Structure 1
Amino acid sequence: MQITLIAVGRLKGGPEHQQIETYLKRCPWPVKVIELEEKRKVTGRERMAREGDLILKAIPDNAFALALDERGKSLRSAAFARMIGDHQDRGTAHLVFLIGGADGYDPRVKARADFLLSLGDMTWPHMMVRAMICEQLYRAACILSGHPYHKD
């Protein structure tokens, strides 16, 4: 199963980048990170629409898309792992995690998403969200394999 993170914005070096690299190296699934950036100076709705175009073009046709959204469903780590495992067992070829820009998602992106996932009620910086999702992917792999990294 291929996993892709599609994120608006570029990650610069620093601790978040190092954490992401660490977790991705440990993941048993191939994980690809696609960074999208709208370089034209636009504001508000126009930027959201342009970012939406970029996100939608980057999602493979048959992928199961999970959009990280504050209004999405919160899952405990074990439930997240079960969801990943269920997709693996069903033969889902491609899971895609979407991380939108500062203005949120264009409505077309939310309509395309198969699942809206929340990391809780707090607002997180986009760069930390990347690290958190990578850690949860590694944690899910550990839960599914019975590795002692995750403690209930």
Structure 2
Amino acid sequence: MKTTLLVVGRTVEKHFITAIDDYIQRTKYFLSFDMEVIPELKNTKNLSMDQQKEKEGELILKALQPGDVIVLLDEHGKEMRSIEFADYMKRKMNTVNKRLVFIIGGPYGFSEKVYQAAHEKISMSKMTFSHQMIRLIFVEQVYRAMTILNGGPYHHE
């Protein structure tokens, strides 16, 4: 199984880029994992929030492949503890044949078409985080899940 984190817009803060890259490299020891960036929209000042979500949604859907299992990182999704997320990843590793694609949308969330294409939604927290920060939090949790599944010393109860 190949796992992809699909994000809208590049990460701009250097300290986030460094940390995200570090966790992605660590995770690759256990799992085929990468992050794909959909370029942010240009000239959004003339677009309404819904128009921006629609245009980003079209780009997200274009980046998907047949057979992808699509999981949105969304505030209305299911919350899990790290151990539960590790079990979730184990189940996915045993059942997903192609790509498991986690998606972080743009600043206004997802279009209705993206919601319709999704198989599941996961919430990282009841709190709100910047799109830059949630990328780091998510890749750290994927790495944590892999260390839990492989008996590594990274996670402590």
Same fold (TM over 0.5): yes
> Partner residue of 1:20?
20
* Structure 1 position 30, deviation (Å): 2.1
CA-CA distance at 1:44 after TM superposition: 1.1
Deviations 1:23-58 (A, max 9, x none): 111112222211112224323111110000001111
Whole-angstrom CA distance in 1 between matches of 2:55 and 2:9 = 13
What RMSD, in angstroms, separates the aligned Cα atoms of the two structures? Answer: 1.2
Instruction: Give the corresponding residue for 2:60.
Output: 55
Matched position secondary structure for 1:60: coil
Q: Could you tell me which residue of structure 1 aligns to residue 101 of structure 2?
A: 96
Show the counterpart of 1:32: 34
Whole-Å separation in 2 of the counterparts to 1:49 and 1:67? 16
Helix, strand or coil: the match of 2:36?
strand
Name the residue aligned to 2:87: 82
Q: Give the distance between the partners of 1:20 and 1:97, measured in 2 at CA.
A: 15
After superposition, give the CA deviation of every residue in 1:53-108 in whole Å (9 maximum; x if it has no partner).
00111122111111011111101111111111111122432110100111111011
The alignment of Structure 1 onto Structure 2 pairs a total of residues equal to 152
Structure 2: gaps spanning 5 or more residues: none
3-state SS in 2 of match to 1:73: strand
Letter aligned with residue 141 of structure 1: M
- Give 2:144's aligned amino acid: R
Q: Scaled by the length of structure 1, what TM-score is found?
A: 0.95
The one-letter code sitting in structure 2 at the alignment partner of 1:74 is E
Structure 1 CA distance for aligned equivalents of residues 33 and 48 of structure 2: 31
1:134 alignment counterpart: 139
Give distance in 2, aligned partners of 1:126 and 1:91.
26
Partner of residue 118, structure 2: 113
Superimposed CA distance per residue, residues 100-148 of structure 1 (whole angstroms, 9 cap, x where no aligned partner): 1111110111111111100111111001111111001100100100111
**Deviation of residue 14 (structure 1)?**
1.2
Name structure 1 gaps, 5 residues minimum: none
